[in-house]
Amino acid sequence: MNVTSLARQLKITTEELLEKLPELGFDVGAKAIKIDDRLVPKIIEACKKSAKKAAFKKELSQVTEIRGKDKTKTDEQNLKEIIIGETIIVKDMAELMKLPVAKLMGELMKNGIMVSLNEKIDFDTATIIAEDLGFKVIKSDQETIEEETKKEKLEKLLTIRKNRDEKPPVVVVMGHVDHGKTKLLDAIRQTNVVDQEAGGITQHIGAYQVTTHDRLITFLDTPGHEAFKAMRSRGGQIADVAILVVAANDGLQPQTLESISIIQKEKLPFIVAINKIDKEGADIEKVKKELSEINLMPEEWGGKVICQPISALQKQGIEELLDMILLVADMKGLKSDSKGPAIGTIIESHIDKSEGPVATVLIQAGTLRIGDMFIVGQVAGKIKILKDWTGQNVDKAKPAMPVKMLGLRQLPPIGEILEVITDKKEFKNKLKKSHYFFSTVNGSSSSNRTQSDEEENTQNIKTLKLIIKSDVLGSAEAIEESLEKIYVPDTEIKVIKKGLGQITEADILNAEADKALVIGFHIKQNKNIQALINEKNVTILHFDVIYKLLEDIEKRLKEIKGKKTIHKLLGKLEVLAIFKTTKNGMIFGGKVTEGKVTKKAKIKILKNSEVEAIGEIVNLQSAKENLNEVVEGNEAGIEYKGEPIIAVGDTIEFFEESHE
């Protein structure tokens, strides 16, 4: 028979067949043209067995084995990782581990550690507790260090200034999602922002100023969903006073506790605004009781926490709340230096269709003027246009004033410090040291790949690749940070490209090449590329609310993960005798050398330490009695269903199979 004809029959190339034949025990020569007809059936049978064995090995490679001796190693490999610093607040640690706070506190109590949910524990304690709960703790990464460095740098810059002028208080509004933070700001500034927000949840950071009793108050509007924790935290760092909004009909919720942690960490004086007092089921006293249970005692109960009942919807208690803010601000004695060059923090940046790159800066010292030279991170430039929060052009901005800067060539990162440089020579030197570079206006960038495609396929990790396009840099940052927190075993998310603006043809082509999903956040559909989307069969997902995006991605991860098969080793047996062999099974006997054999167990047949076949137990006997279990040291007779390849001297392993 021609070698090429046999290769076609086996559905492989001629070269592959000639290469494979020696491995199967057929020496026909590397350049053979014909094969003896008598060998053909044997070669076909050997090829089928080889293919079956390869498929069997591949199937086994997808199985997670749990063996007594390797249990510690296996457990270590399966530990979920969390990253913390020298200390961590108990509530924050529970959030990182995605566990109820009560469960974590219970584990702490078991170990004799009595702390409240808002108290800190050190790194060593956190490591011990986390390992008991199935987590591996890693010391804080560079990003956390950089955030601390920025904060220290800002404090250092502000410390050297002479604070001689009174400044308006900067107020940050925090609390749980849908407890009415945006409605409160709406009531304060007599606008209607909430109706413009998708799902009633604030998506972008903004800053607003209001006047009461001829005095200015600046409000930072921080987003409500937990995905914006990083930006809320930055809001805490630049505020003077915090308002904690708690719904009277809902009480303290997870984001409420998270906001309290940030407020306490930043040592901010705060006022609790008990909102929705007009709602059915509102219970002001219950909220105060819940506050007292976490060591926040209301003034009316002899404590120091100011509680102000309000209804943002009915505009009740708003004037009283503003008076309380001024009172707290006066007690703090807020002052700043408004004379020198400006220092501030970037609280929002995005690309506007008509204005290009735009950033909002909150001035913390000095006065920012049109024409000022500035540097912020790796972005440098000259102020061309300034606008206040109402969109009106202004020529300067004093401390506590939020102002939009126009005329930028690159978007500065949120949370970065802005410095005005008055000396041209110093400005040029700082420019060189910052490794300053300009990028394209669309702000598109690709994430660095930390793994090669080859590494990606190891350890059976399923990867969901994403291309993210958003209208605001702050939202893109929050989405990326939130995606990292989604944990689905044996899966990972890889952002292969991210950028601002509409989804383009290039995005579709990249998605096709990398088999990625394209996510559009707060951007309109580009109808001009619909034909290309259909042609390339690329999935485009549009979202306006971030938690819906996260829910969708988590669902997709669970779908691609599938079920994991686990084989838990129960025992081993050495085959001493073969009693009967049939086409689909055997009856054999042997001695249990390790663990036990159970009637419900499955069988692995090992030859030369390699698994050759898997089967099932039909019947289990010992001393001619039918049993459900035979333990180590005893002999057993087994009726086995499967491939009849067992021989005397083989090792048989018994295991339980489960799926998760």
Binding site annotation covers 195?
no
The answer to whether the annotation marks 278 as part of a ligand binding site is yes
Whether residue 569 contacts residue 655, with contact meaning beta carbons closer than 8 Å, is answered with yes
302 annotated binding-site participant: no
- By the 10 Å C-beta count (0-12 exposed, 13-18 middle, 19+ buried), 177 is classed as buried
The answer to whether the annotation marks 178 as part of a ligand binding site is yes
Cα–Cα distances in angstroms (integers) from residue 173 to residues 170, 247, 296, 364, in the given order:
10, 13, 18, 18
Q: Is the dihedral of CA 215, 297, 114, 255 positive or negative?
A: negative
Residue 240 marked as a ligand binder? no
Give the list of residues 6+ apart from residue 338 with CB closer than 8 angstroms, or none: 165, 167, 365, 366, 367, 398, 399
Residue 580 labeled ligand binder: no
Tell me, letter by letter, the H, E, C secondary structure of 9-63.
Answer: HHCCCHHHHHHHCCCCCCCCCCCCCECCCCCHHHHHHHHHHHHHHHHHHHHHHCC
* 176 annotated ligand binder: yes
Residues 6+ apart with CB under 8 A from 365: 157, 158, 161, 336, 337, 338, 340, 342, 343, 344, 399
Please check if 181 is assigned to a binding site. Answer: yes
Residues 6 or more apart in contact with residue 507 via CB below 8 angstroms: 467, 469, 497, 518
Contact residues for 477 (Cβ-Cβ < 8 A; gap 6+)? 230, 231, 413, 414
CA 541 and chain centroid, separation? 19
The one-letter code for the residue type at 561 is K
Is 118 marked as a binding-site residue? no
Does 100 appear as a known binding residue?
no
Q: Judge whether 469 is annotated as a binding position.
A: no
Strand partners, 472: 350
Residue 633 counted as an annotated binding residue? no
Is 192 annotated among the ligand-binding residues?
A: no
Q: Is 180 annotated as a binding residue?
A: yes
The answer to the question of whether 223 is labelled as a binding residue is: yes
Q: What's the number of CA atoms in the CB half-sphere (13 Å) around residue 67? A: 8
Annotated binding site, which residues?
A: 175-182, 221-225, 275-278
- Binding site residue list for GTP: 175-182, 221-225, 275-278
